[in-house]
Amino acid sequence: MKTHILSIDCPDQKGIVHHITGVLFRHGLNVVSNGEHVDHEAGRFFMRTEFEGEQAQLPSLGELKSVLPAEHNLRLVEKRKKNIVIMVSKEPHCLGDLLIRHAFDALQANILAVVGNHDRLQPLVEKFGIPYHFITHEGKERAQHEAEIMQVLDGYAPEYVVLAKYMRVLSEAVVARYKHRMVNIHHSFLPAFIGANPYRQAYERGVKIIGATAHLVTTDLDEGPIIAQSVIPVDHTHSARDMSQAGADVEKNVLSKALKLVLDDRVHVHGNRTVIFD
Amino acid sequence: MKTHILSIDCPDQKGIVHHITGVLFRHGLNVVSNGEHVDHEAGRFFMRTEFEGEQAQLPSLGELKSVLPAEHNLRLVEKRKKNIVIMVSKEPHCLGDLLIRHAFDALQANILAVVGNHDRLQPLVEKFGIPYHFITHEGKERAQHEAEIMQVLDGYAPEYVVLAKYMRVLSEAVVARYKHRMVNIHHSFLPAFIGANPYRQAYERGVKIIGATAHLVTTDLDEGPIIAQSVIPVDHTHSARDMSQAGADVEKNVLSKALKLVLDDRVHVHGNRTVIFD
Amino acid sequence: MKTHILSIDCPDQKGIVHHITGVLFRHGLNVVSNGEHVDHEAGRFFMRTEFEGEQAQLPSLGELKSVLPAEHNLRLVEKRKKNIVIMVSKEPHCLGDLLIRHAFDALQANILAVVGNHDRLQPLVEKFGIPYHFITHEGKERAQHEAEIMQVLDGYAPEYVVLAKYMRVLSEAVVARYKHRMVNIHHSFLPAFIGANPYRQAYERGVKIIGATAHLVTTDLDEGPIIAQSVIPVDHTHSARDMSQAGADVEKNVLSKALKLVLDDRVHVHGNRTVIFD
Amino acid sequence: MKTHILSIDCPDQKGIVHHITGVLFRHGLNVVSNGEHVDHEAGRFFMRTEFEGEQAQLPSLGELKSVLPAEHNLRLVEKRKKNIVIMVSKEPHCLGDLLIRHAFDALQANILAVVGNHDRLQPLVEKFGIPYHFITHEGKERAQHEAEIMQVLDGYAPEYVVLAKYMRVLSEAVVARYKHRMVNIHHSFLPAFIGANPYRQAYERGVKIIGATAHLVTTDLDEGPIIAQSVIPVDHTHSARDMSQAGADVEKNVLSKALKLVLDDRVHVHGNRTVIFD
């Protein structure tokens, strides 16, 4: 007996749940959980169904598609650990959290490798027996640097790429190749700060909250569909450096939460929004 | 066109969603939102469906029941404002919040009346043109006091009774009459404190968090199925009185949140647990 | 015996706390609480001291100033309820919360009057026996509208003006007259949204958090020194309208928290930052 | 130039701040930060002062004590990394977080060693080049097991002992030896659950919040002075195991926050309460 996850989005119309669950019922499959959402503004229907059954009981994609309106998206995946590659620069907090979870089987993923444009985190990664690829950007055109990264990434054929404080902008070509399969974490502030050194700006502005946002990467930098957000309180006693450290803690927690949702196929994307069945 | 809400819980078995949504589909009803949950430990299925259609399209209860296993609970209600009565003692924070929401159409309820065992809040209630019934407990046996309260309550035939800091224990007879239709709010602490003056105990224990819990009332005092909980941070600079005021703020917010869920028929109860489709 | 609050900020130098507490000690005053902060980047010292004593024991301002470096700010006020005027437009949530607190002596302020550019909230305010001044902006130049508002405000000589969802921009003249004495609340988002209808933008962006910021008003709209901030989680099931309602709840809580700090003379301002002794 | 931290608590009386800061001023020391608190109920004064100066400028303890009332506690320590030993059982989440921080210089401590009553975490600790002492409790009387632990602990002479999910009760002798120098983390619930398997109880009770409390260890199990608390929301979709995992995340964050406060000498204890200058 295996568990599968069926993810659907399509134009909303009457009877979809009835028809889809009918296919599963006729195949004798046991629905473990079912989540549905209708975006009434967009007129779009979203569904995530987790069901158990023998491999032989699985309906064909054709049978499932035949009960859906045209212009649907449908994905049927087995529930299992996903293969991921993590990209980093110099900051250890997000990577460290993922490595510890991975080492104790608390991450629904196999970390195939870590790729970094600095070598600071290499010893940490190698302690855990995971390959580290140090691909410096120094002295290289962006195109060349990215080509080297892509060669390594593609070699691992990861299902998801996690940007765990990878601090360089990725070009459209890279982002497009991992569309909706690349997760990023970045600091967020109320109000927002544009430009260099946002923690310094946040300090100078006297903010009382430091936040973090995990999102899927699109070609708009730091602007893809949001998966998870959280904040942590700060006050006037926090220096810019203290704020940065507080931000690191919330980044770590938010990335971990977002990744859990992504790895369990709970995140649907429509336009720039997410529908998350948690 | 009206909106109705169908709430079901029953033993879990294959095909229930398919069968129920089939009834709605055959009647040409438009499902607005659908929530399902399987409690795998209890082997029980829960469902809340909100759908739109003409009154004439409504399926009979018999038709719905015919597709469910025995030992089901089923409730079909029209989506509309509920009639409620609020019970209070002396504290204004929860009541005041509900009155303001009610006055500006931000509470999915008609407040038919307020019943109090003190008269402190009577002028506030009457400002809003709502009847206030002052029923003192002084000089009365509990049975007599409750009989007077019940006479007033029953006269209004409320769908829900909200205990907005009503500070007296209600006997089994009262609770049973409003089973799963009576919402209470009370302070909660980490750790818990038993006995008189919990805020003083919390102060002396130096807690760093003050919480509140909204729950359905059962015969176990402060122990019914939990609807919503929240906390607020405190520290050593808070006196017992400051903690009580901080607690009042969180109580107000939690009660309001819980009431919104209850009034929109989103709270299912099974044993001492709730399943909430929010 | 009265309680006074002494607020100081000045260039940081050795011995300031020693000298200031020396003045209080020599006058036999009893320090109830003491808060200090050094902004090392700005080289500035901040202090708030709350002390008890007979009126006759009070040191002169001159004596206090004599132990401070030049370029200091010093304020000595009696601890008592402040006189405030509230300004509103159409939304009741923040105003309602303040009125309930005021009615039950849980706001350290006397609400002298409410001024609004709409009449929607007039009946609510008058229920509580508080004057409401409806000063429409329709058919008036901004200068004329503000002149009418200023005439009313000045007539009450409030110590603080609270913008409880007053939705019009105030000109520099008004802001300057109430410099550091005008508190505003506004919604905040991660990321920030510029332009009309931010809740719609937040919905379309799929944010997972809705925030609010209370700040002192300066001539930079929505950009004065921040007093308090908080957030509330939302998700894809929230419509733009639901997000707005969730935002209203957090706005109400944040404004109330900020006002409590301001009314108790706990908020120091330096440039665009606050130092808050809470 | 070194930084020192002076911690004082004593009966409250007029002039203490003046006198203490006078000593520091006369020695030409530069106060970096100053925190004071008066517990008016207990009549007790608390102070934490951080100051910079040459070693030769330091006042003697006698000079400081001479300006304080009798029955004071006074501690003067240099600001530097503390030496700690961590104790664990089988769960990696708290330990892992501390190891990552330690490896990247984000913990104000030297981890001298880890002591565990299981060997599950030994490989993780040794990856980081830190000694692991596996001292099984199996087949031993408690007294013998503790004697073995104490021998190892005492060999390291740690300033603090961190119980990072060490799941055995420690006897009075151990606790007394590390009085106010042993930090523990444990789960906390609203309401509280007594007895075995609290996460199962929390699940069955349908709680909406899972919490954690970090505290100093006293002879009352799980009942020492509280340093930090936090919570995380859960709902009916969380199994008992999911709740336990959510709890692990909050435990990790709370322990890390509490440890930061302790290691920076910010936690004062009086009776069963803490005064924390953060």
Tell if the CB–CB gap between C273 and A206 is shorter than 8 Å: yes
Tell if the CB–CB gap between C213 and A191 is shorter than 8 Å: yes
Q: Please tell me which residue of chain A has the smallest CA distance to C42.
A: A204
Rounded to the nearest integer, the mean pLDDT of chain C is: 94
Q: What are phi and psi of D30, to 5 degrees?
A: -105, 110
Question: In this structure, are residues B10 and B16 in contact, taking their beta carbons and an 8 Å threshold?
Answer: yes
- Output the pLDDT for position C130: 98
Per DSSP bridges, beta strands D73-78 and A44-53 are unpaired
Tokens representing B116? 């109090």
- Output the pLDDT for position C201: 86
Indicate the residue of A93, A104, A127 with minimum beta-carbon distance to D127: A127
Q: Give the pLDDT confidence of B25-74 residue by residue, as tens digits.
A: 999 999 999 999 999 999 999 999 999 999 899 999 999 999 999 999 99
Closest CA to B270 of B40, B84, B83, B80: B40
- pLDDT band of residue B189 (cuts 50, 70, 90) is confident
Rounded Cα–Cα distance for residues B260 and C238 (Å): 14
Q: If you average pLDDT over residues A108-119, what whole number do you get? A: 98
Q: Please tell me which residue of chain A has the smallest CA distance to B44.
A: A32
Which chain D residues are within 8 Å of B253, Cβ to Cβ? none
Per DSSP bridges, beta strands B160-163 and B182-189 are parallel
Question: In this structure, are residues A190 and C211 in contact, taking their beta carbons and an 8 Å threshold?
Answer: yes
- Output the pLDDT for position D36: 96
- In this complex, is the C-beta atom of B229 within 8 Å of any C-beta atom belonging to chain D? yes
- Residue A225: how many CB atoms within 10 A of its CB? 21
- Please tell me the distance in Å from D109's CA to the nearest CA on chain C: 25
**Residues of D labelled as active-site residues:** 222
Rounded to the nearest integer, the mean pLDDT of chain B is: 94
Tell if the CB–CB gap between B128 and C127 is shorter than 8 Å: yes
Q: If you average pLDDT over residues B146-161, what whole number do you get? A: 97
Indicate the residue of A21, A32, A35 with minimum beta-carbon distance to B18: A21
Per DSSP bridges, beta strands D2-11 and C226-233 are unpaired
- In this complex, is the C-beta atom of A261 within 8 Å of any C-beta atom belonging to chain C? no
Tell if the CB–CB gap between D256 and A249 is shorter than 8 Å: yes
Which chain D residues are within 8 Å of C32, Cβ to Cβ? 38, 40
- In this complex, is the C-beta atom of B105 within 8 Å of any C-beta atom belonging to chain C? no
- Output the pLDDT for position D222: 62
- pLDDT band of residue A190 (cuts 50, 70, 90) is low
Question: In this structure, are residues A18 and B18 in contact, taking their beta carbons and an 8 Å threshold?
Answer: yes
Q: Is the pLDDT of residue B102 over 90?
A: yes
Which chain A residues are within 8 Å of C236, Cβ to Cβ? 37, 39, 273-276
Which chain C residues are within 8 Å of B99, Cβ to Cβ? 100
Rounded to the nearest integer, the mean pLDDT of chain D is: 94
Q: Give the pLDDT confidence of C40-87 residue by residue, as tens digits.
A: 999 999 999 999 999 899 999 999 999 999 999 999 999 999 999 999
Tell if the CB–CB gap between A256 and D249 is shorter than 8 Å: yes
Q: B83-105 burial string, b = 16+ CB within 10 Å, else e?
A: ebbbbbbebbbbbbbbbbbbbbe
Which chain D residues are within 8 Å of A92, Cβ to Cβ? 100, 103-104
Tokens representing C249? 């709840």
Number of inter-chain CB pairs under 8 A, B vs D? 89
Tokens representing A3? 């568990």
- Output the pLDDT for position D189: 76
Widest distance between CA atoms in chain C: 63
Rounded Cα–Cα distance for residues B121 and B141 (Å): 23
**Residues of C labelled as active-site residues:** 222
Chains with ≥3 Cβ pairs under 8 A against A? B, C, D
Which chain D residues are within 8 Å of B206, Cβ to Cβ? 225-226, 272-274
- Please tell me the distance in Å from C182's CA to the nearest CA on chain A: 18
Q: Is the pLDDT of residue C206 over 80?
A: yes
- Please tell me the distance in Å from D99's CA to the nearest CA on chain A: 9
- Give bridge partners of residue D74 from the DSSP assignment: D8
Tell if the CB–CB gap between D276 and B235 is shorter than 8 Å: yes
**Residues of A labelled as active-site residues:** 222
Q: Please tell me which residue of chain A has the smallest CA distance to D95.
A: A100
- In this complex, is the C-beta atom of C241 within 8 Å of any C-beta atom belonging to chain A? no
Q: Give the pLDDT confidence of C109-123 residue by residue, as tens digits.
A: 999 999 999 999 999
Q: Please tell me which residue of chain B has the smallest CA distance to C91.
A: B104
Q: Is the pLDDT of residue C221 over 80?
A: no
Q: What are phi and psi of C248, to 5 degrees?
A: -60, -40
Question: In this structure, are residues A236 and C275 in contact, taking their beta carbons and an 8 Å threshold?
Answer: yes
Tokens representing B173? 């007879």
Rounded Cα–Cα distance for residues A8 and A92 (Å): 37
Q: Domain B2-78: which topology?
A: Alpha-Beta Plaits (3.30.70)
Indicate the residue of C37, C204, C207 with minimum beta-carbon distance to A236: C37
Task: Give the CA radius of gyration of chain B.
Answer: 21
- Output the pLDDT for position A191: 66
Is 3.40.50.170 the CATH number for B82-276? yes
Which chain B residues are within 8 Å of C93, Cβ to Cβ? 100, 104, 106
Which chain A residues are within 8 Å of C41, Cβ to Cβ? 239
- pLDDT band of residue A236 (cuts 50, 70, 90) is very high
C2-78 and C82-276 agree in CATH topology: no
Q: How far is CA C184 from the centre of its chain?
A: 7
Q: Give the pLDDT confidence of C139-172 residue by residue, as tens digits.
A: 999 999 999 999 999 999 999 999 999 999 899 9
Tell if the CB–CB gap between C32 and D40 is shorter than 8 Å: yes
- The contacts of residue B189 (CB under 8 Å, 6+ apart) are B198, B201, B202, B207, B209, B210, B211, D190
Tell if the CB–CB gap between A14 and B31 is shorter than 8 Å: yes
Q: Please tell me which residue of chain D has the smallest CA distance to B238.
A: D39
Tell if the CB–CB gap between A29 and B14 is shorter than 8 Å: yes
Question: In this structure, are residues B81 and B48 in contact, taking their beta carbons and an 8 Å threshold?
Answer: no
- pLDDT band of residue D263 (cuts 50, 70, 90) is very high
Tell if the CB–CB gap between D22 and C18 is shorter than 8 Å: yes
- pLDDT band of residue B187 (cuts 50, 70, 90) is confident
Q: Give the pLDDT confidence of B108-135 residue by residue, as tens digits.
A: 999 999 999 999 999 999 999 999 999 9
Tell if the CB–CB gap between C100 and B97 is shorter than 8 Å: yes
- In this complex, is the C-beta atom of B106 within 8 Å of any C-beta atom belonging to chain C? yes
Q: If you average pLDDT over residues A48-67, what whole number do you get? A: 95
CA angle at D20 for the pair D15 and D24, rounded to the nearest 5°: 145
Burial environment of residue A120 by CB neighbours within 10 A (0 to 12, 13 to 18, 19 or more):
middle
Rounded Cα–Cα distance for residues A275 and A47 (Å): 9
- The contacts of residue D138 (CB under 8 Å, 6+ apart) are none
Question: In this structure, are residues B23 and B64 in contact, taking their beta carbons and an 8 Å threshold?
Answer: yes
Rounded Cα–Cα distance for residues C106 and C112 (Å): 16
- Percentage above 70 pLDDT, chain C: 98
- In this complex, is the C-beta atom of A237 within 8 Å of any C-beta atom belonging to chain B? no
Q: Where are the domains of chain D?
A: 2-78, 82-276
Q: Is the pLDDT of residue D234 over 90?
A: yes
Alpha helices in B50-197 (DSSP H): 61-66, 93-103, 122-127, 142-156, 172-177
- In this complex, is the C-beta atom of A250 within 8 Å of any C-beta atom belonging to chain C? no
Minimum mean pLDDT among A86-90, B1-5, C184-188, D13-17: which range?
C184-188
Tell if the CB–CB gap between D213 and B204 is shorter than 8 Å: no
Which chain C residues are within 8 Å of A204, Cβ to Cβ? 272-273
Tell if the CB–CB gap between D14 and C36 is shorter than 8 Å: no
Q: Give the pLDDT confidence of A89-100 residue by residue, as tens digits.
A: 999 999 999 999
Strands (E), D59-194: 73-78, 82-88, 109-116, 132-134, 160-163, 182-189
Which chain B residues are within 8 Å of D205, Cβ to Cβ? 226, 272-273
Question: In this structure, are residues B146 and B87 in contact, taking their beta carbons and an 8 Å threshold?
Answer: no
- Residue A244: how many CB atoms within 10 A of its CB? 19
Q: Please tell me which residue of chain D has the smallest CA distance to A91.
A: D104
- Output the pLDDT for position B219: 80
Number of inter-chain CB pairs under 8 A, A vs C? 89
Q: Three-state DSSP class for C86?
A: strand
Which of D12, D31, D278 is the best substitution to test chain C (most C C-beta atoms within 10 A)?
A: D31
Question: Tokens 């336009």 appear where?
Answer: A271
- In this complex, is the C-beta atom of C229 within 8 Å of any C-beta atom belonging to chain A? yes
Alpha helices in C49-105 (DSSP H): 61-66, 93-103
Q: Is the dihedral of CA A248, A250, A256, A258 positive or negative?
A: negative
Angle, to 10 degrees, between the axis of helix C240-263 and the axis of helix C198-205?
120
- In this complex, is the C-beta atom of B201 within 8 Å of any C-beta atom belonging to chain D? no
Tokens representing B21? 């949504």
Could you please report the per-residue DSSP string of A216-245? Answer: E--SSTT-S-EEEEEEEE--TT--HHHHHH
Could you please report the per-residue DSSP string of A75-102? Answer: EEEE-SPEEEEEEESS--HHHHHHHHHH
Q: How much is the pTM?
A: 0.96
Tell if the CB–CB gap between A14 and B33 is shorter than 8 Å: no
- Percentage above 90 pLDDT, chain D: 87
Closest CA to C67 of C8, C154, C148, C117: C8
State the catalytic residue, choosing from B12, B39, B222, B242. Answer: B222
- pLDDT band of residue C189 (cuts 50, 70, 90) is confident
- In this complex, is the C-beta atom of B228 within 8 Å of any C-beta atom belonging to chain D? yes
Q: Three-state DSSP class for C45?
A: strand
Q: Is the pLDDT of residue A104 over 80?
A: yes
